[in-house]
Structure 1
Amino acid sequence: MTNTSTPVWSDLLIGQLAFYWDTHLRPRLDGLTDEEYFWEPVAGCWSVRPDAAGNYRLDLGQDGDPAPVTTVAWRMMHIAVGCFVTRSSTFFGDGTVDADADMFDPRHEPADLPHTAADAVTFLDDSYRAWHGHVSGLGDAGLSLPLGPKGAYFSAEPMAALIAHLNREVMHHGGEIGLLRDLFRATGATRRTDRLATAAI
């Protein structure tokens, strides 16, 4: 039997992330504790930490080779802010950020990130729902439109390309979050300062 129906590409693209979120990532966040959220399995991890003013921010810098290990906190906030919040603000914003701000402009980022695991899960939930709501109504025509100046050096790329990229980012970091939770449980870690054993060289 031959399927002669025409795929609805917008449904497939938006549905890919929705299925991953509902079936894989979001259930893996249930029961997340503060100790697990901030767990640094090795020294030198990137995480989410208070700055001099007490506002929680993502550790950032040169990735290096190899790149630093990042905590559950860092990965969750990278998804929430780097994938959802900044892009929602850029392309579907309420006008509170100046119109000249492209999708890499730090003016789209919150001044303070969640201080606890529970608040972080809520923040990620809200950021995902907002992004999903925005892109679900685009349809094939909207997905084909170029990003324009707000896309910076990706200005000629269509919205569909940005969504596909963000889907990959969420699934990539979501898998890492799941693995870190598995390691925290399997190694008997209970505190954010518990370290994984390192092999002697």
Structure 2
Amino acid sequence: MDAPPLDWGRLLVSQLEFYWDAHLWPRLNGLTDDEYFWEPVPDCWSVRAGDDGRFRADGPATRRTPQPVTTIAWRMMHIAVGCFATRTSTFFAPGDADMFDPAHVPADLPHTAADGLALLHDSYQQWHDHIAALDDEGMRRPLGPKGAYFSADPMAALIVHINRETMHHGGEICLLRDLYGARRGAVIR
């Protein structure tokens, strides 16, 4: 008897769901403002108020080595905005802007841990719901002009990339929480 065909799209969505539900989101419980903006070393990249009072993420994405150390706020906004919100806005909302257009980035990022968590959760939920609704054809469809220099890649390749980014930066957020807690003799679980 032949096995039923594998639903690769469902597998990719399930991977993100499992990481989010079992690993990342539970570890963010109790995040404080102090912890959110904590800089474990000098010259960290974070989310800061500019001269106009609006909060923005420090530094452009660079390929320099070593990469700067970043705060929990920076990493959360990288996931919330750089991964989920930007891709949702690009591929599931009206408009022609490609996924690298700065117009996708909010003019003012969250000023508190609670607001950062709300943005992270909402942007995850929107991305999740859109990718979960894709059928096999939608998973295989090339990104097209909105994908910029990844235009020939299928949506499934973008989902794999976003999953990897979420797990990578999410793991670093969890490590920063552990380091922050260890300063006071408590480890956050």
TM superposition score normalised by structure 1: 0.88
Structure with higher Rg: it is 1
Shift in Å at residue 63 of structure 1? 4.8
* Rounded Cα–Cα distance in structure 2 between residues aligned with 1:29 and 1:3: 43
- Partner of 1:7: helix, strand, or coil? coil
* Rounded Cα–Cα distance in structure 2 between residues aligned with 1:63 and 1:179: 22
* Rounded Cα–Cα distance in structure 2 between residues aligned with 1:63 and 1:163: 22
* Rounded Cα–Cα distance in structure 2 between residues aligned with 1:104 and 1:171: 21
Q: Which of 182, 187, 190 is the matching residue for 2:183?
A: 187
Determine whether 1:138 maps to 2:131. Answer: no
Instruction: Evaluate the alpha carbon distance shift between residue 13 and residue 59 of structure 1 in structure 2; reply closer, same or farther with a 3 A threshold.
Output: same
Which has the higher relative contact order, 1 or 2, with Cα contacts under 8 A spaced 6 or more apart? 1
Match in the other structure for 1:175: 171
Match in the other structure for 2:74: 74
- Partner of 1:114: helix, strand, or coil? coil
- Partner of 1:6: helix, strand, or coil? coil
Shift in Å at residue 3 of structure 1? 7.8
Match in the other structure for 1:23: 22
The runs of 5 or more residues in structure 1 that have no matched partner are 190-201
* Rounded Cα–Cα distance in structure 2 between residues aligned with 1:3 and 1:83: 38
Percent identity (aligned):
64
Match in the other structure for 1:192: none
Determine whether 1:6 maps to 2:5. Answer: yes
Displaced runs of 4 or more, over 3 A: none
Match in the other structure for 1:195: none
Match in the other structure for 1:194: none
* Rounded Cα–Cα distance in structure 1 between residues aligned with 2:158 and 2:65: 26
* Rounded Cα–Cα distance in structure 1 between residues aligned with 2:63 and 2:9: 34
TM superposition score normalised by structure 2: 0.94
Which residue identity does 1:69 align to in structure 2? Answer: V
Match in the other structure for 1:199: none
* Rounded Cα–Cα distance in structure 1 between residues aligned with 2:63 and 2:3: 47
Match in the other structure for 2:120: 124
Determine whether 1:105 maps to 2:101. Answer: yes
RMSD of Structure 2 on Structure 1 (CA): 1.6
Which residue identity does 1:9 align to in structure 2? Answer: W
* Rounded Cα–Cα distance in structure 1 between residues aligned with 2:157 and 2:3: 26
Which residue identity does 1:25 align to in structure 2? Answer: L
* Rounded Cα–Cα distance in structure 1 between residues aligned with 2:63 and 2:27: 27
Match in the other structure for 2:39: 40
* Rounded Cα–Cα distance in structure 2 between residues aligned with 1:26 and 1:49: 24
Cα deviation, 1:29-80, whole Å, max 9, x if unaligned, reads: 1000000000000001000001111110000134532110000000000000
